[in-house]
Amino acid sequence: MSASKRAAGDTACPSGRGPIWTRVRRKPLEAHVAGTPALEVDGLTVHYGGRLALEGIHFELEEGAELGVVGPNGAGKSTLLKAIAGIAAPSAGEVRVYGHVPSGHICIAYLPQRSEVDWRFPLSVEDVVMMGRSARLGPLRRPGPRDRSLVRGTLDLVELAPLARRSIGELSGGEQQRMFIARALAQEADLVLLDEPLAGLDLRSQEGILTLLSALPQRGITLLVALHDLGIAADRFGKVLLLKKSQLGFGPPAEVFRAEALKEAYGASLRMVRAEEGLFVVSDAPCDKETCDGTP
Amino acid sequence: MPRTARIAVAVGLVLAAVVAGGAAAPLRVAATTSIVGDVVRAIGGDGVIVTVLLPAGADPHAFEPTPKEMASLGDVQTIFANGAGLETFLDSLLASVGVPIVSVSDGIAFRGFAQGSEEQGVDPHVWFDPMNVIVWTESIARQFATLDPANAEGYATRALAYEQELKDLDVWIVEAVAAIPRERRKLVSDHEAFGYFVDRYGFDDVGTVIPGLSTLAEPSAQGLAALEDAIREHGVPAIFVGVSVNPALAEQVAQDTGARIVFLYTGALSGTAGPAGTYLDLMRYDVRTIVQALGGGP
Amino acid sequence: MGLPELLVAPFRYPFMARGLLAATMVGVVCPVVGTYVVLRGMAFFGDALAHAVLPGVAVGFLTSHGGGRRSVFWWALGTAILASLGIGAVARRGRLREDTAIGIVLAGMFALGIALISTVRGYAVDLVHFLFGNVLGVSGGDLLLTALLGGLVLALVLALYKEFLVVSFDAILAATLRLPVRLYNGLLLILIAVAVVVSLQTVGVALMLALLVTPASTAYLLVRRVPAMMVLGAGFGVLSGLVGLYVSYYAGIASGAAIVLVATGFFVIALFAAPRRGLLWRRRSN
The pLDDT assigned to C130 comes to 76
Residues B116 and B248 in one domain: no
Residues B125 and B259 in one domain: no
Residues in a beta bridge with B205? B187
Helices (H), B101-151: 130-147
Three-state DSSP state, C175: helix
Domain boundaries, chain C: 3-285
Fold observed for domain C3-285: ABC transporter involved in vitamin B12 uptake, BtuC (1.10.3470)
Among the partner residues B54, B218, B224, nearest to C15 by beta-carbon distance:
B224
Flag whether residue C178 sits within 8 Å of chain A, measured between CB atoms.
yes
Domain containing B198 — which CATH number?
Answer: 3.40.50.1980
Walk along chain C (286 residues) and give the pLDDT tens digit of each residue.
Answer: 688 888 888 888 888 899 999 999 999 999 999 999 999 999 999 999 989 988 988 888 788 765 566 788 888 899 999 988 888 787 777 777 888 888 988 899 999 988 888 777 655 556 677 777 788 888 888 899 999 999 999 999 999 999 999 999 998 999 999 999 999 999 999 999 999 999 887 788 888 899 999 999 999 999 999 999 999 999 999 999 999 999 988 888 888 889 999 999 999 999 998 877 777 777 776 6
Tell me which of B191, B220, B253 to substitute to probe the interface with C (most C C-beta atoms closer than 10 Å): B220
Are B and C close enough to touch, i.e. 3+ CB pairs under 8 angstroms? yes
Residues B116 and B38 in one domain: yes
Domain boundary among B171, B190, B219: B171
Flag whether residue C248 sits within 8 Å of chain B, measured between CB atoms.
yes
Sign of CA dihedral B198, B203, B207, B210: negative
**Cα gap C46→C197, rounded to integer Å:** 11
CA B239 to centroid of chain Cα atoms: 21
Assigned domain for B2 exists: no
**Cα gap C256→C228, rounded to integer Å:** 26
Flag whether residue C279 sits within 8 Å of chain B, measured between CB atoms.
no
CA C182 vs CA C43, C88, C175: distances in Å: 20, 10, 10
Residues B213 and B272 in one domain: yes
**Cα gap A149→A270, rounded to integer Å:** 48
Question: Would you call B249 and C118 a contact, using CB atoms and an 8 Å cutoff?
Answer: no
Choose between C283 and A4: higher pLDDT. Answer: C283
**This prediction's pTM:** 0.80
Residues B108 and B194 in one domain: no
DSSP state at residue A70:
E
Residues B20 and B88 in one domain: yes
The domain tally of chain B equals: 2
Assigned domain for B247 exists: yes
Assigned domain for B61 exists: yes
Assigned domain for B1 exists: no
Question: Would you call C14 and B256 a contact, using CB atoms and an 8 Å cutoff?
Answer: yes
Q: Tens digits of per-residue pLDDT, B49-96?
A: 998 888 766 666 667 777 777 777 878 889 999 988 888 767 777 777
**Cα gap A161→A179, rounded to integer Å:** 10
The pLDDT assigned to A54 comes to 92
Assigned domain for B298 exists: no
DSSP state at residue A103:
G
The yes-or-no verdict on residue A29 having pLDDT over 70 is: no
Q: Tens digits of per-residue pLDDT, A146-162?
A: 999 999 999 999 999 99
Assigned domain for B274 exists: yes
Domain boundary among B171, B199, B227: B171
The pLDDT assigned to C153 comes to 97
Among the partner residues B62, B216, B248, nearest to C137 by beta-carbon distance:
B248
The pLDDT assigned to C81 comes to 93
Q: Tens digits of per-residue pLDDT, B146-156?
A: 988 998 899 99
Domain boundary among B147, B171, B195: B171
pLDDT category of residue A18 using cuts at 50, 70 and 90: very low
CA C109 vs CA A248, B85, C50, C87, C187: distances in Å: 55, 34, 10, 11, 22
Three-state DSSP state, C42: coil
Flag whether residue C172 sits within 8 Å of chain B, measured between CB atoms.
no
Residues B142 and B209 in one domain: no
Residues B156 and B254 in one domain: no
Answer for the pair A58, A232: CB distance below 8 angstroms, yes or no.
no
Q: Tens digits of per-residue pLDDT, A55-95?
A: 999 999 999 999 999 998 888 999 999 999 998 999 999 99
User: Average of pLDDT values for B168-188?
Assistant: 91
The pLDDT assigned to C167 comes to 93
Flag whether residue A50 sits within 8 Å of chain C, measured between CB atoms.
no
Nearest CA in chain C to B225: C13
Q: At residue B29, what are phi and psi to the nearest 5 degrees?
A: -135, 165
The count of CB pairs under 8 A between chains B and C is 87
Helices (H), C53-139: 54-63, 69-92, 98-118, 125-132
Residues B270 and B220 in one domain: yes
Q: Tens digits of per-residue pLDDT, B231-271?
A: 988 888 999 988 766 677 888 888 889 898 898 888 888 87
The pLDDT assigned to A104 comes to 82
Residues B139 and B256 in one domain: no
Residues B281 and B145 in one domain: no
Supply the range of the domain harboring residue B161. Answer: 7-171
Assigned domain for B281 exists: yes
Are A and C close enough to touch, i.e. 3+ CB pairs under 8 angstroms? yes
Residues of C in Cβ contact (< 8 Å) with A105: 178
Residues of C in Cβ contact (< 8 Å) with B218: 128, 132, 254
The pLDDT assigned to C134 comes to 80
Residues B217 and B134 in one domain: no
**Cα gap A218→A189, rounded to integer Å:** 13
ipTM over 0.90 threshold: no
The yes-or-no verdict on residue A271 having pLDDT over 70 is: no
Task: Compute the mean pLDDT over every residue in chain B, rounded to the nearest whole number.
Answer: 83
